[in-house]
Amino acid sequence: MVPKICTYASPDWERGSNRYVEARMKRTPLYELHRQRGASMSGFAGWEMPIQYAGILHEHEAVRQKAGLFDLCHMTRIEIEGPGTL
């Protein structure tokens, strides 16, 4: 599967630039799992993210009755160093 192309504001936008950048959308480590589970994917801030799996009403009810999870992999990067790390 070829990554989608997205348009997003460049990091310079905070300094007054209104420049936009085209780039391949990034994928989280859970991307393939989302696809295997049938997620509808869409662009979000340069990342290809799951939007829904079974439909908004079904998912709303599932979260109200049980629990829901949200993929946070696109929000930060954690680097672990030291003995025994991979």
- At 22 the pLDDT is 53
Q: Residue 48 domain-assigned?
A: yes
Q: Residue 79 domain-assigned?
A: no
Q: Which domain holds residue 51?
A: 26-74
Q: Residue 46 domain-assigned?
A: yes
Instruction: Name the domain count of the chain.
Output: 1
Confidence of residue 5 (pLDDT cuts 50, 70, 90): low
Q: Residue 34 domain-assigned?
A: yes
Say which residue, 80 or 12, is predicted with more confidence: 80
Quick one: average pLDDT of 23-33?
86
- At 57 the pLDDT is 94
- At 13 the pLDDT is 44
Percent of the chain with pLDDT over 90: 27
Angle at alpha carbon of residue 48, lines to 46 and 51, rounded to 5°: 120
Q: Residue 11 domain-assigned?
A: no
- pTM comes to 0.58
33, 23 Cβ separation under 8 angstroms: no
